């Protein structure tokens, strides 16, 4: 047995010897402080043993966060959903952190936009290819250009001349060779919107590609214009264009600016709105995920008065729903309110459905999914050195999800309908939650409990030995203390009686006083009356 649990065995002789080594005046203190066992309480010992046995019991807890991370990751990287989350500051890590920290009594209100950094960063440097993303063919289509054998013509937006799209057709004359010019230059837009928090690089390139911003002018002029706006160009080169052409380009520029302004407004609103939607999705997930996590870690009945697990689950979902309805939805803008409220209803309903489906088909899941479960089990039991928690969660999610979830998925497929974006999010969330629930259910039916019997054996062994030792030590103590106290009592009475008689009958008491001091273990420096005389003679005053 480990040293730390062992209590030293004390014999009757040991105790007696210890007591004999102290004076009668120190006896009471010695007795009350006597060490017959150690200072470990029952709960200290249990905690210590459980730590020794820290094994797969924690596997469920350890899986919860990685599973959530999986779901969050899937959500954020989903090809169809990529856009929603890209335009928000929601990262998988942030989702996991916030959802994990969720408590019903704590209402945090942070809508920190820390993605500004990212949005700005990507607009920091101007690289033409990042902004000029619209295909020329599209532009040509918009302008009504039809190519025949690669040749095509277009009217010069400034001069009015006919321009050739194919360089060879221009015969070296750059005044009739067509260039596609961005009225408001790309670089100019990059600089202008560089610090805008709600316009991303992709948005800017879209703005640059608006039909009003694209104009075909001749190559000579375009080269001259360079990266300037028309207004800047005229200022720099007041004589380069005749006045009607000047008027024309200014008109072009005004049109472009107007179109860009309008379109950018729409984009900004949408980005803000979508950001809100992303936030709202997370807010929804928090209480629902909390309920799932809480069920796994503390048992589904924890905190509720019922002993019926199905009822408890329903109560949990209701609690989450009420929370969102009362605390989250009122805070959203009107537009989002409706969307989220409906989304929520569908989500809750689907989760409930999924749960009932799961229960109903539990047996078939076990039988059909048995191989998958076996595989999952063997993965779970691998030491963390071979496979990290995250890897385990990943592997298990895949195995169980592919083998087991189809059995249940049908239930909520019907509820989602064919709603894009929201439907996909729902699917993702639910698949992650389903997997978690299956893992939880498997734990409930005891597949994962390992070594609990071994641990119980150890607890019994340690406690039994300790109890026996303590009992034996206590007995030894009582026997020895009893004897010692009796002996001392007898000794004292002998001296005391002698002293008392001497005092009463007037004889010399000194020998008894010495006996008493001796008994008490007190040192008297004056050993005889003669010495006392000397003391008196030599000292003006006595001191005690």
Phi, psi of 152 (to 5 degrees): -165, 155
CB of 41 to another protein, least distance (A): 4
Structural element, H or E, at residue 400: helix 389-403
With CB under 8 A as the contact rule, the residue among 32, 106, 135, 490 that binds another protein is: 32
DSSP secondary structure string, 436-466?
Answer: HHHHHHHHHTTSS--SHHHHHHHHHHHHHHH
Using the rule CB under 8 A, which residue among 478, 487, 494, 534 binds another protein? Answer: 478
Residue 1 CB neighbours (<10 A): 10
| Count of residues of this chain found to bind another protein when the rule CB under 8 A is applied | 99
Q: Segment near another protein (CB under 8 A), from 139-147, 157-165, 245-253, 494-502?
A: 494-502
Residues 286-315 that bind another protein (CB under 8 A): 307-311, 314
Q: Which is nearer to another protein, 137 or 449 (CB)?
A: 449
CA distance 158 to 333: 46
Q: How far is the CB of 266 from another protein (least distance, A)?
A: 6
Q: Provide the minimum distance between the beta carbon of 511 and another protein in the complex, in angstroms, as a whole number.
A: 9
Nearer to another protein, 241 or 300 (CB): 300
- By CB under 8 A, name the one of 12, 34, 126, 304 that touches another protein: 34
Toward another protein, which CB reaches closer, 174 or 356? 356
- Residue/partner pairs of 93-101 with CB below 8 Å, 24 or more apart: 93/69, 95/68, 95/282, 95/285, 96/65, 96/68, 96/69, 96/72, 98/282, 98/286, 99/68, 99/72, 99/282, 99/285, 99/286, 99/289, 99/290, 100/65, 100/68, 100/293
Task: Please select the residue that binds another protein; options are 100, 153, 246, 510, rule is CB under 8 A.
Answer: 510
Query: Does residue 31 belong to the site contacting another protein (CB under 8 A)?
Result: yes
Contact 335, 273 (CB under 8 A): yes
CB of 15 to another protein, least distance (A): 10
The span from the CA of 215 to the CA of 178, in Å, is 10
Shortest Cβ 323–another protein spacing (Å): 17
Whole-number minimum distance, CB 34 to another protein, in Å?
6
Restricting to residues 120-179, name those near another protein by CB under 8 A. Answer: none
Q: Is residue 410 near another protein by the rule CB under 8 A?
A: no
- Residues in 411-470 at the binding interface with another protein, rule: CB under 8 A: 415, 417, 419, 422, 444-447, 449, 452, 456, 459-460, 463-464, 466-467, 470
Site for another protein in 333-392 (CB under 8 A): 335, 338-339, 342-343, 345-346, 348-349, 352-353, 356, 359-360, 362-363, 366
Quick note: the x/- pattern for another protein over 213-232, rule CB under 8 A, is: --------------------
Q: At what angle do helices 510-520 and 452-505 cross, to 10 degrees?
A: 170
Torsion of CA 398, 400, 406, 411, to 10 degrees: -110
Q: 180 — phi, psi (to 5°)?
A: -90, 120
Mapping DSSP to helix (H, G, I), strand (E, B) and coil, where does residue 179 land? Answer: strand
To another protein, the closest distance from the beta carbon of 224 in angstroms equals: 39
CB of 352 to another protein, least distance (A): 5
Q: What is the DSSP string of 103-170?
A: -TT--------TTHHHHHHHTSS--HHHH--S-HHHHHHHHT---BTTB-EEE-TTT--EEESSTGGG
| Pair of tokens at residue 400 | 């169980």
Nearer to another protein, 236 or 489 (CB): 489
Q: For residues 160 and 420, which CB has a smaller minimum distance to another protein in the complex?
A: 420
DSSP state of 415: H
Residue 490 touches another protein, criterion: CB under 8 A:
no
Exactly one of 1, 9, 17, 46 binds another protein (CB under 8 A); that residue is 46
């Amino acid at each position: 047995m480990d040293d730390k649990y062992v209590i030293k065995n004390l014999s009757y002789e040991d105790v007696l010897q210890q007591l004999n080594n102290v004076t009668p005046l120190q006896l009471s203190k010695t007795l009350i402080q006597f060490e017959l066992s150690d200072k470990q309480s029952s709960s200290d010992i249990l905690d210590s043993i459980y730590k020794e046995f820290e094994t797969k019991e924690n596997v469920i807890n350890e899986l919860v966060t990685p599973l959530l991370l999986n779901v969050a990751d899937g959500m954020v990287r989903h090809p169809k959903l990529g856009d929603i989350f890209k335009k928000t500051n929601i990262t998988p890590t942030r989702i996991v952190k916030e959802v994990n920290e969720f408590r019903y009594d704590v209402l945090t209100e942070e809508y920190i936009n820390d993605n500004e950094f990212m949005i700005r960063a990507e607009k920091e440097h101007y690289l033409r290819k990042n902004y000029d993303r619209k295909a020329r063919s599209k532009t040509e289509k918009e302008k009504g250009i039809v190519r025949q054998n690669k040749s095509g013509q277009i009217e010069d937006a400034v001069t009015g001349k006919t321009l050739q799209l194919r360089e060879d057709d221009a015969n070296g004359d750059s005044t009739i060779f067509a260039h596609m010019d961005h009225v408001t230059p790309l670089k100019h837009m990059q600089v202008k919107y560089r610090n805008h928090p709600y316009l991303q690089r992709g948005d800017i390139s879209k703005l640059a590609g608006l039909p009003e911003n694209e104009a075909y002018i001749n190559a000579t002029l375009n080269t001259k214009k360079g990266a300037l706006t028309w207004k800047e160009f005229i200022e720099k080169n007041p004589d380069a264009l005749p006045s009607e052409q000047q008027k024309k380009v200014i008109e072009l520029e005004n049109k472009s600016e107007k179109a860009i302004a309008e379109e950018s407004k729409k984009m900004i609103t949408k980005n803000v709105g979508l950001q809100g939607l992303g936030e709202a999705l997370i807010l929804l997930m928090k209480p629902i995920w909390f309920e799932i996590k809480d069920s796994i870690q503390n048992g589904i009945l924890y905190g509720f008065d019922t002993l019926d697990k199905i009822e408890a689950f329903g109560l949990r979902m209701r609690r989450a729903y009420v929370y969102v309805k009362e605390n989250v939805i009122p805070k959203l803008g009107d537009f989002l309110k409706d969307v989220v409220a409906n989304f929520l209803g569908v989500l809750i309903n689907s989760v409930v459905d999924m749960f009932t489906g799961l229960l109903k088909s539990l047996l078939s899941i076990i039988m059909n999914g048995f191989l998958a479960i076996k595989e999952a089990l063997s993965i779970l039991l691998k030491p963390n050195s071979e496979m990290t928690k995250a890897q385990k969660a990943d592997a298990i999610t895949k195995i169980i999800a592919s083998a087991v979830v189809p059995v249940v998925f049908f239930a909520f497929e019907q509820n989602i309908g064919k709603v894009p974006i929201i439907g996909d999010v729902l699917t993702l969330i639910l698949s992650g939650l389903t997997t978690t629930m299956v893992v939880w259910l498997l734990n409930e039916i005891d597949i994962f409990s390992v070594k609990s019997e071994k641990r119980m054996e150890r607890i019994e062994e340690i406690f039994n030995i300790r109890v026996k030792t303590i009992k034996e030590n206590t007995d030894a103590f009582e026997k020895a203390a009893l004897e010692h106290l009796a002996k001392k009592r007898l000794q004292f009475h002998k001296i005391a009686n002698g002293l008392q008689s001497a005092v009463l009958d007037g004889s010399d008491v000194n020998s008894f006083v010495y006996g008493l001091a001796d008994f008490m273990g007190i040192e008297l420096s004056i050993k005889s009356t003669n010495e006392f005389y000397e003391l008196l003679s030599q000292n003006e005053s006595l001191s005690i």
